[in-house]
């Protein structure tokens, strides 16, 4: 397939995990990818690995709104256009409610939620000039449940992503831009291992009737459909890619 031939995609958090898997898939189908991450080494590694020399590293700390605007301007300058934005950058420090500080609270919200607002606005305005675009945000099953295992603030940020996805879907609809989110369950990336006990991980695995973690590539497939021309009528939706762990009405 070559679903992304001629397209330019910004993928945030593309240094590893779901973002990296999405960058690999889009590049393998002809898309040029702005591989954005706060970690320079990871951004460069992922970009270098992409098929067809389609990877271009961009190193930005997206928790700061000014950097979100600058990234979009930088991509327009270097790659000429923006067609797709995948917001995968995120953090999930495991902190009990009793131990949460204002600084940690803000650091979670700044990358998980605030960056999505400022990136969607800047990239959406660029897409609007072409009359076509796709934005896909990574939410989480925690955004629907309130979260498990020391992830209260994380879960609230991901509920915010679901809400913001709907608002941006309405805002950009007239410009041919569809905006959706994916709410993964437990995915086998660093986030699922760092600060998570074996017991807690096992409990999350058993919550899914499929009885296993998701590979990041399985999430990338869902993202890629929503980001492609094959998606013509889904907007403002959140796709629950959680292995059946939660089946909302």
Ligand X SMILES: NC(=O)c1ccc[n+]([C@@H]2O[C@H](COP(=O)([O-])OP(=O)(O)OC[C@H]3O[C@@H](n4cnc5c(N)ncnc54)[C@H](O)[C@@H]3O)[C@@H](O)[C@H]2O)c1
**61-75 exposure pattern, b = at least 16 Cβ within 10 A, e = fewer:** ebbebebbbebbebb
**Which of residues 192, 226, 227, 239 is near ligand X by CB under 6 A?**
192
Residues from 145 through 184 that contact ligand X (CB under 6 A): 184
Crossing angle for the helix pair 65-79 and 115-128, to the nearest 10 degrees = 30
Q: Which of 60, 149, 154, 233 is catalytic?
A: 154
Asked if residues 203 and 141 have their Cβ atoms less than 8 Å apart, the reply is no
**Which of residues 91, 109, 148, 215 is near ligand X by CB under 6 A?**
91
Look up 149 and say whether it is catalytic.
no
Considering only the stretches 32-40, 49-57, 70-78, 123-131, report the one whose residues sit in contact with ligand X under the rule CB under 6 A: 32-40
In angstroms, what is the minimal distance from the CB of 14 to ligand X?
Answer: 7
**Which of residues 15, 55, 160, 243 is near ligand X by CB under 6 A?**
15
Rank residues 124 and 216 by Cβ distance to ligand X and give the closer one: 216
Q: What is the C-alpha separation between 215 and 195, in angstroms, rounded?
A: 19
Q: What is the C-alpha separation between 99 and 151, in angstroms, rounded?
A: 12
Rank residues 130 and 202 by Cβ distance to ligand X and give the closer one: 202
Q: What is the largest CA-CA distance in the chain?
A: 50
- Residue 123 contacts ligand X per CB under 6 A: no
- Residue 226 contacts ligand X per CB under 6 A: no
**Which of residues 140, 152, 180, 181 is near ligand X by CB under 6 A?**
140
Q: What is the C-alpha separation between 223 and 19, in angstroms, rounded?
A: 10
CA distances from 51 to 29, 86, 173, 228 (A): 9, 18, 32, 18
Q: What is the C-alpha separation between 141 and 138, in angstroms, rounded?
A: 10
Q: Which of helix, strand or coil describes residue 113? A: helix
Rank residues 30 and 186 by Cβ distance to ligand X and give the closer one: 186
Rank residues 131 and 244 by Cβ distance to ligand X and give the closer one: 244
Give the residue numbers marked as catalytic: 154
By the criterion CB under 6 A, which residues form the site for ligand X? 12-13, 15-19, 37-39, 42, 61-63, 88-92, 111, 138, 140, 184, 186-187, 189-192
């Amino acid at each position: 397939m070559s679903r992304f031939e001629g397209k330019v995609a910004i993928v945030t958090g593309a240094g590893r995990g779901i973002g990296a898997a999405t960058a690999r898939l889009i590049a393998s189908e002809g898309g040029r990818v702005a591989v954005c991450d706060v970690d320079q080494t990871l951004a460069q590694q992922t970009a270098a690995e992409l098929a067809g020399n389609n990877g271009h590293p961009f190193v930005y700390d997206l928790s700061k709104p000014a950097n979100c605007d600058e990234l979009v301007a930088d991509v327009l300058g270097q790659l000429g256009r923006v067609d797709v934005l995948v917001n995968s950058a995120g953090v999930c420090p495991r902190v009990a409610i009793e131990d949460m500080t204002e600084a940690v609270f803000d650091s979670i919200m700044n990358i998980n939620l605030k960056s999505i607002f400022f990136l969607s606005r800047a990239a959406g305005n660029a897409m609007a000039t072409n009359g076509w675009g796709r934005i896909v945000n990574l939410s989480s099953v925690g955004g629907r449940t309130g979260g498990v295992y020391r992830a209260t603030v994380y879960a609230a940020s991901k509920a915010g992503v679901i809400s913001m996805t709907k608002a941006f879907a309405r805002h950009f609809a007239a410009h041919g831009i569809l905006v959706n989110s994916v709410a993964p369950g437990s995915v086998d990336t660093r986030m699922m291992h760092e600060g998570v006990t074996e017991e807690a991980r096992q409990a999350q695995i058993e919550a899914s009737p499929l009885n296993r973690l998701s590979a990041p590539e399985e999430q990338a497939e869902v993202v890629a459909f929503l980001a492609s021309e094959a998606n013509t009528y889904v907007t403002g939706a959140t796709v629950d890619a959680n292995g059946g762990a939660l089946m909302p009405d």
